[in-house]
Structures are given as C-alpha cells and as structure tokens.
Amino acid sequence: TTPQPSCSGRSCTEDASLLQKAGSRAAAKAFQHHNTISSSKRQKDRKNASASPSIFFSIGVGHDMQKGVHAIYAILDTWAAQVAPEHVHFVGVSRPADDSIARLASWDEALRCPDNHDGGACKDAEGLVEGYKRGADWVVLLGSDNYVLTGHLEKELAKMNPNKPQVFGILGCGRKVCKHGLCGGAGQIFSKSALREMFKNGKAKFRAEANASAHSAGMYGDLANCLLATNHNVSLHNLTGLHGWKMNDTQLTRSIQSKELAALTFHYVDAEGLQKVHSMVQLSESTSGLALLAKSHDENASLSFLQEKESHDEAGSAETFGLAEWHRRVASYILEEEEARQPYLLALEKEEARQTSF
C-alpha cells in the first residue's frame, strides 16, 4: 500500500501556508482534504481497485505553476483524490517542493515541450512514454480542465480488452489529416497493447515518430496520436460517455443523473467547476444527499443540484439523456472543433503546398 501523506499541528499549518503563498487557496484545501479522508475508506478503495483494470492518468498542464496551481490542486482534491498516487501523472510542471503534496502524484516538467499550442502533442507523447513504462492496462491522456468519473470509467474499461491494440476517444476531428479523426478534449485512452505496438521500435524512435506526426497534424496532439495509432495498425473507437464540449449546470445534472448512459469525463471545467461537479457527483452517488450537502465544497452548487435532481426525477427527464442525444452533441462538437482548428490546418496545407512546389 502506498503510504499516504499526513500532517499535524504546526507542520500541517506551515504546509497549507506555503501552498497559499503559491497563490492558491484551493491548494491548501486540497492538502487538508487528502488528510481528512479516513484510512478505512482508503483501504476499501484500494481493495476495490485491485479487482479493476489498472488505469494511468497523464494530465498535461502548463509550465507556469503559479497559473496552473489552482487546477492541479482542484484535481487532487476531487476526482483524483481516490486514485493511487502512482497512477496520477502531471506533465508540464515541476515537482512541488513540499513532499507531502508531491507524493500525491508523479511530475514531469517536460521543459523540452513548448508551453503553447505546439507543446500539446509533445506532452501527450511524454505522457504515453511514462504510461508505457508503468505497464498499466490503460493510459488516459487528459488536460487540466477535465473531470473524470473514475468509477464509471473503471467499469467501462473493465469490459474492454487491454491486450488488444486499440484507442478509445471521440472520433471525427481532423479526418482530412487522419482517416478516422480523433477529438482529444474528452480524453484519449490507449490500451497497453496499443502502446506495445507504438513503442515496438523503442522510445527514441517513438518520440521521433510522434514529433513527425505532430508536424503533419498542425501540432494537434490528438491528430498526431491518431496518425501514430493508424501507422501501427492500432484500431480507433468511439467511447460513449466522454463529453468534449462545454456543459452548463443543467446539462451536467442530466448527464450525471442519466440512467441510460454513464458519464465518463467532462471537459472545459475550471478549478472552481471541478469542485462544483465533484459535489454533484458525490450527491448523485449518495443515498443521503442532504448529509453530504453540509460537507460540500460549494453549498450553492449542491442546493442547485438537489433542486435540479428533484425536478428531473419528477419529470423523468434524466432518462432522456442517452445515446441518441450524446451522438447529436458529438456531431455538433466535431463541427465546432473543425471550425476552431481550420486556421492551423489551412496554414499546414499552405506550407505543404509551398514545399511541394520546390
């Protein structure tokens, strides 16, 4: 069992103070929250995890710790709080000086990756390198603005075969670049067999190939990964329940409460939103939502959620968020993504045409 951080008295106060000086009240809250989870609950979670597939989460963030600290500690305080520290990995930020916080995840500053649009593909590649080294059944690439319903994801991946070379995500973005297209905003999920195929010529060769694919894909990490998978005969598949688009509170409520389609991830969720969504998920999973309400990070969000839940339960509208609506939203999402990416991909086409003319 991985030792868990603990603090007491002056030590705990000093650590929280240091995090606040780093510019984030959420950071201090995350640290304190990790230390208030009971040991019996942790043991229960570890026992349940032993029967589940091993999942390694690699989260790409910016180099600026001052800017990204809110999101990082919100992640550690919410969906990642019950994930074993060895399965949570941040790419693009240095290891925190405070060891009590640093032990909650692994860290790769990845200074070789630019801290801009062009660096996204590089951070994806480094996340895959680390995930391959860990030998997990599944490697999940995420951003700092994703929320993961880890229990739902574990159940879904337990149905899949990690020994089959396959990648899961939302297909359709960038089909002009890669046959099936891949939209990475909701997460990209690689089986260990897929990584074996992609790394069969060694890590150095993989990095070189990943870099070449990125340049062929307008430096979009998801399209670079789509090319890598395709070039190694790794199949790509849609995974229902991934949400790559921005959702309001009502939409989040309906998705979380859906009895037809289990939500797996949400996207475009900032640090404050991570806490709000986490409260919604906790309330949904609890048979005593009012008890949780008192402990919630966001009382107003919890009250709003309970009101929404009651309304949807009475109308039965939670039932209506299912596969058909998910496919409709995916179609809109792909169109939005294609429009947003057009300037980059047009510039790529012009550059390719210019080089061909020589």
pLDDT in tens, 35-52: 554 344 444 444 454 568
Give the pLDDT confidence of 261-274 residue by residue, as tens digits: 999 999 999 999 99
Per-residue pLDDT at 163 exceeds 70: yes
Q: Where are the alpha helices (DSSP H) in 135-220?
A: 150-158, 192-198, 203-216
For all residues of the chain together, what is the average pLDDT?
82
Per the CB < 8 A criterion, the answer to whether 116 and 125 are in contact is no
Give the pLDDT confidence of 289-327 residue by residue, as tens digits: 444 444 444 455 555 555 555 554 444 444 457 899 999
* Nearest C-alpha neighbor of 77 from the set 306, 337, 276, 358: 276
Residue 301 pLDDT: 53
State the DSSP code for 242.
Answer: B
Lowest-confidence range among 21-25, 126-130, 206-210, 263-267? Answer: 21-25
Whether the CA torsion 138, 102, 269, 275 is positive or negative: it is positive
Per the CB < 8 A criterion, the answer to whether 264 and 189 are in contact is no
Q: How far is CA 351 from CA 211, 221, 232, 358, in A?
A: 17, 19, 26, 11
Left if phi > 0, otherwise alpha if psi is -120 to 50, otherwise beta: which for 202?
left
* Most confident segment among 3-7, 97-101, 156-160, 290-294: 156-160
Q: How far apart are CA 251 and CA 321, in angstroms?
A: 9
- Give the bridge partners for 265, in sequence order: 148, 242
Per the CB < 8 A criterion, the answer to whether 126 and 20 are in contact is no
